[in-house]
Amino acid sequence: MFALAKPIGCLALVLLVVTLGSAFEEHPHFCIETEPLLLSEIDRHVVMPSERDLQCHIKATTLTLKEKASLVDTLCADHGSTTVHRDNHHFLRLHNGELSGRGAQKELCANSADSVLAWVPYHTVLKNYAAELNPKERLTYIAKATNVEREKTELCHFRHTDLVNAVTDSLFTCVVMIFGDNFYGLEDNINVLVELEPLMYQLRNITYLPWRNVTNSYKMHLGDSVLRNPSGERKPIYGSLNYAFVEKIELNTTTVYRDEQHLARLPLLFEHRGSVLQLDEHGVGGLDVAEKAYFGRTMDARSEVKVQVIGQWVDQQREFGADIYEYYGHGLRRYKQPLAGARLTFVRIDNTEPVFQAPESNNLAKASLFREHKAGKLKENQTAGNFTEWENSELDEDEDEPGFYGWFVVCALLLALAVVVGLYLVIRTQSRRNKQRQMYDLANTNVPAPA
């Protein structure tokens, strides 16, 4: 790949710094599972942990649709017990694996548990989040308990003090939700209910609309190349140049975060060219692009010419529609709502063109009007060396025999000279005759008259 001009390198570096500096890093030890374990798969025997299990110190397992329906029915429906409605149980909120707050039971009932809910093992919550809670609070948290021996799983709730005080003995109890007639201990499989918060939005399934506006900008030097014609005949020669640049994307965020859409101002992921790009809070991002420019020209035999390839920066304003997805990390996303009438601008290189530089002094291309007969000699003696057109032209001038034009000029000059000499001789002869006649007439005038 050819080297790029410094301005392009600077622009690429700036965009990459902006993009990488604001890049969001997912929690390396937080994982999201979307396939909950069945009751029959929960066993007490020792399982060798996999490499992924060793990296996932915090593992959240999302609820299935059936579990959500059972959760809402247990927490929000009237089962003839006043205990459920009197108590206001809570759940924890996690953002990228970090504790971000808590929610109340009434919130789940108000939106029918529409958020992304998951289960986190009790010992994981105890180890990672208990120290961040206030020990003086008197709350209860929603959980589920699974007892393999009884082949039963039930919703239960446990005390806030048990969590912050790290109770690990038999005093710990997770009381069942309905009637409170049973409880579970730490020897059972206890999982705490958490709500996962979205990290950002993804704009997917993008459809560009006909509205478009193009603004031409300045031209940029993309790279250098050389076209060579090593053959002994004049013909078209083609070449190409690989160049790279950063395609800048500027999204008009006001066309995405509208009041009627009730969207939180989260970072945006934009699907473009088969990749998902992260845009900053201003809707700006970039993508490394490698492309190829083609060029060519008709060249004389055994000649070469240097080429500079330039490209013109253009701003392309587009209007598009898309589907908004909530992204929760580690590949988990959920459809949120459609988007229409959003606008963005692509700043990219377009209209590449070659600029052919003047050939070197030893590669001057001379008019080949009187050199056609020389091509045969060049083809026959190709091993003699790399002849340039300038050298070939000099050889033509030295070796060509004089033609008809030269003989015609010589003959014309000789004929003119003969005419001039002839005229000179005729005039000279006539002049001598006139002189002799004058002398004869003068002699006759001196004779005396007869007596």
Final residue in a domain of this structure, among 330, 359, 388 = 359
Give pLDDT tens digits for 13-33: 333 333 333 456 888 889 998
Asked if residue 372 belongs to a domain, the reply is yes
Structural domain range at position 271: 6-21+199-359
- Mean pLDDT of the 302-323 span: 93
Q: Residue 50 — pLDDT band, cuts 50, 70, 90?
A: low
More confident residue, 399 or 56: 56
**For residue 210, which amino acid is it?**
P
Task: Verify that 140 and 221 share a domain, yes or no.
Answer: no
Asked if residue 437 belongs to a domain, the reply is no
Asked if residue 446 belongs to a domain, the reply is no
Task: Verify that 271 and 371 share a domain, yes or no.
Answer: no
Task: Verify that 168 and 89 share a domain, yes or no.
Answer: yes
Give pLDDT tens digits for 359-381: 644 444 444 444 444 444 444 44
| pLDDT of residue 72 exceeding 50 | yes
pLDDT number for residue 388: 40
Most confident of 53-57, 62-66, 166-170, 247-251: 247-251
Task: Verify that 209 and 342 share a domain, yes or no.
Answer: yes
Average pLDDT, the chain: 79
Give pLDDT tens digits for 187-243: 888 999 999 999 999 999 999 998 888 888 888 899 999 999 999 899 999 999 999
Task: Verify that 54 and 186 share a domain, yes or no.
Answer: yes
Q: Residue 45 — pLDDT band, cuts 50, 70, 90?
A: low
- Mean pLDDT of the 352-362 span: 73
Give pLDDT tens digits for 413-429: 899 999 988 888 888 88
- Mean pLDDT of the 57-72 span: 91
- Mean pLDDT of the 4-18 span: 34
Q: Residue 77 — pLDDT band, cuts 50, 70, 90?
A: confident
Task: Verify that 94 and 180 share a domain, yes or no.
Answer: yes
Number of domains in the chain: 3
pLDDT number for residue 148: 77
